[in-house]
Amino acid sequence: MSVPQLGSLEAKRKMVAKVNAAIADACQGITSTKEIMVFLDEYPLENVGWAGRLKSDRPEVVAALGPLMSAA
């Protein structure tokens, strides 16, 4: 997964747990869900462009991700 840079290991733990649970739920009865691996590629907002603009130049994105990026 390519994700915004997170502020702490605890934020990463929470995200991985939630993603793991969602994948396990979606795959239940289809395949084994005992050993799901989640790979995180973190990027600071100044290294992400979308629709011709850096994400760090969009105040609404910075505001929405602020709590995750500064989580202790």
What are the structural domains of the chain?
Answer: 2-69 (3.30.429)
Q: Is 59 exposed, middle or buried (0-12, 13-18, 19+ CB in 10 A)?
A: exposed
Longest dimension (CA), the chain: 44
- The average confidence (pLDDT) of the chain is 86
The predicted structure's pLDDT at residue 56: 85
* AA identity, residue 62: V
pLDDT category of residue 70 using cuts at 50, 70 and 90: low
- For residue 72, pLDDT over 60 is answered with no
Mean pLDDT of the region 7-32 = 92
* Entry pTM: 0.68
**pLDDT digit string, tens, across residues 29-60:** 999 888 899 999 988 888 888 889 888 888 88
